[in-house]
Structure 1
Amino acid sequence: MSDHDQLLVIVDPVARRSDGESVRIAKDVLSARAEAKICLPDSPEEFTRALARRGSRHPVVLGDDRALLRTVTLLHRERELAEGALSLVPIGPPDALEVAHALGVPRSTPAAARAVLDGAVRRLDLLVDDSDGVVLGDLLVPAVRDLGAPTSSVWGTCRSLVRTLVRPAPTALAVRTYRLRVEADGVLLADVDTPVEGVSVRSVAGTAEVIVHPSAAPALHGTARTLTVSGPDFRYRADGRVTGPVRRRTWTARAGAWGLTLPREAAQELRTAT
């Protein structure tokens, strides 16, 4: 990015309230080398209006994963996501920035701001659903935190308490199962008569990588451009948010659907990995 490029810096209200010092640092770094118009929206509606009025300016969002997701969703619904690129300076607690960091955005505010000015645009895949929603990172159906993960510390504490009260302690906890129909490009991977623990999905090389976790069988792997999940009311987790309940949802993988400015080395690593 040249010194004469114009930026539209949108400061998410949550970032401004939670970490004003990081916001100040980011603004100083960006304004020192580029013509930056600073927008301080007080609501999601003002955020939307500011982005819609960006003109030819390069949008730079100061905020967390939700701010990034809001921006990508708005640009997608305007059908302008394929035009140009956007940048993010991550501001917020670590658990609110998991998606941004997984995409390669630097963790420190100064480094992320410098990447806006000196970085390279990396085209990234996207999952788009039939309600015009988007998924940037991993998708879990239903909305469990981590399919197949080890038992949490909470359950460990419960077992320890049980051991002090009851002998012998239970050796296993019941795993909840779901009745889901899963179709990948029209191919049936699971049906409602086969209980599953869940489905995990991520975008890989322009397709959706699907893993179905049956309750009494090895995991089923597949890739598809279109994935449909249906069944009794279920919720799903994507990019840190829970959506639903729904009875049917279809996601379509779109290769290189949006551009994010990353440090040049991070963009190169992602390009090599894909």
Structure 2
Amino acid sequence: MYDVVLLTLGAGRDAPSACGDGCCGGGGAGGAKPAEECADTPRVPVLACADVLTAAGARVTTVTARADAEIDEVLARLDGPPRPDGLTWPDSDGKTRLVVATASDGQLRAVVRRLVRRYAPPPSRRPADLAGNRTLPDLPPIGVLPLDPRGGVGSATDLAGQLGLPRDPAEVAWAVLGGPVRRLDLLRNDGGSVTLDGALIGGADDTGTPRTWQGRVEVDDAVLSDGDEPLLACVVGNGNGYAEVEGLPLLTGADPADGVVEVAVVLPVVARTWRRRKMRLEVRRGRGRAASINPRADRVPYLDDGVSGDLTRKRSWWIEPGAWAVYDRAPAS
């Protein structure tokens, strides 16, 4: 039987507080514990999943990680035997399985990012058994346990919802124990991070009005913007989380397992008639193996798998076909 690690990311890891589900409420008449007394208490979906796994004979460990080093300690359990070349490599036939309890796509991304940093060999030590279209080996599959198994707001567009993965803790447990492994593409970037779903570049001012910015946007050899035009937004998509923005369809066929990245830019175009000037939005799209954005402004806001930041220099993404994987729904018995 398997050893299963149920990993939850604590506060400060793109996550809300670990409190909730009857655990924390600041103390008081409701009987809920103060946050400091239950920071290490697993959430109810985690406990429910652990119960099903234990009943099925798995050896279960629950871990709450609040730092990269603590995530790395968990991931080390997925290492394979030593290699002659000295590289750290995942165990392709291991008996340890990982479940990540996620309150957001950004939390799942944080774990996959650490997997990439653990197993991607430096270019100077690229092994002969690595596929020619990849910079890292097949990463170990992950069981995804949404911390709101009912879905909640936005459930149709989070990554688990997009992929049709189980949300009920019992179904997640059975997927980890007996479900098929579904391999998915991964976007790496030259900033050292990864993207599972997509990135939305562009933002709005304090009144909510979209702010234009300029930047050169390329997909393989195609130029979507030369850097001289005002842009409202740019989407780099591996999935469909940013397929539509403010009701405007941007991505038309993003598929997280087709080996290509889809990119779209939105720019305002002024059409002049003999009576008046009218503004319309133009969308340009491209698909390929790699994409780059070179902003002209000092800072352009963006969201990457739901995590906010500022784009301050050229950023390039490239696709890693089938690099990461999830446990899918177990077949009906």
2:145 counterpart (76, 82, 89): 89
- Structure 2 portions without partners, runs of 5+: 12-16, 22-42, 80-93, 121-136, 239-254, 270-280
Shift of 1:202: 1.4
More displaced, 74-83 or 200-209? Answer: 74-83
Q: Deviations over 1:152-210 (max 9, x none)?
A: xxx8xxxxxxxxxxxxxxxxx96431111101113221022111111112123111111
Cα distance 1:96–1:66, how it changes in 2: closer, same or farther (>3 A)? farther
Report the 3-state secondary structure (helix = DSSP H, G, I; strand = E; otherwise coil) of the residue aligned with 1:263: coil
Q: Kindly report which structure 2 residues correspond to 1:129-140, keeping only aligned pairs within 5 A, or say none.
A: 129-140=189-200
Number of the residue aligned with 1:59: 98
2:159 counterpart (74, 99, 102): 99
> 4+ residue runs of structure 1 moved beyond 3 angstroms?
11-16, 53-56, 92-97
Number of the residue aligned with 1:12: 9
Task: Quote the RMSD (CA, aligned, Å).
Answer: 2.6
Q: Percent identity?
A: 28
Question: Does 2:56 match 1:33?
Answer: yes
Shift of 1:9: 2.4
Report the 3-state secondary structure (helix = DSSP H, G, I; strand = E; otherwise coil) of the residue aligned with 1:100: helix
Q: How many residues align?
A: 236
Give the alignment's TM-score, normalised by structure 2.
Answer: 0.64
C-alpha separation between the residues in 1 aligned to 2:58 and 2:305?
A: 32
Report the 3-state secondary structure (helix = DSSP H, G, I; strand = E; otherwise coil) of the residue aligned with 1:126: strand
Report the 3-state secondary structure (helix = DSSP H, G, I; strand = E; otherwise coil) of the residue aligned with 1:41: strand
Give the alignment's TM-score, normalised by structure 1.
Answer: 0.76
Cα distance 1:191–1:238, how it changes in 2: closer, same or farther (>3 A)? same
Cα distance 1:42–1:222, how it changes in 2: closer, same or farther (>3 A)? closer
Report the 3-state secondary structure (helix = DSSP H, G, I; strand = E; otherwise coil) of the residue aligned with 1:105: coil
Number of the residue aligned with 1:147: none
Q: Normalized per residue, which structure has more helix?
A: 1
C-alpha separation between the residues in 2 aligned to 1:114 and 1:96?
A: 25
C-alpha separation between the residues in 2 aligned to 1:76 and 1:140?
A: 22
Number of the residue aligned with 2:37: none
- Structure 1 portions without partners, runs of 5+: 145-154, 156-172, 266-274
2:109 counterpart (69, 83, 89): 69
C-alpha separation between the residues in 2 aligned to 1:258 and 1:54?
A: 14
Shift of 1:85: 1.3
More displaced, 190-199 or 51-60? Answer: 51-60
Cα distance 1:221–1:260, how it changes in 2: closer, same or farther (>3 A)? same
Report the 3-state secondary structure (helix = DSSP H, G, I; strand = E; otherwise coil) of the residue aligned with 1:122: strand
Cα distance 1:11–1:189, how it changes in 2: closer, same or farther (>3 A)? closer
Cα distance 1:96–1:132, how it changes in 2: closer, same or farther (>3 A)? farther
Shift of 1:32: 1.5
C-alpha separation between the residues in 2 aligned to 1:105 and 1:32?
A: 22
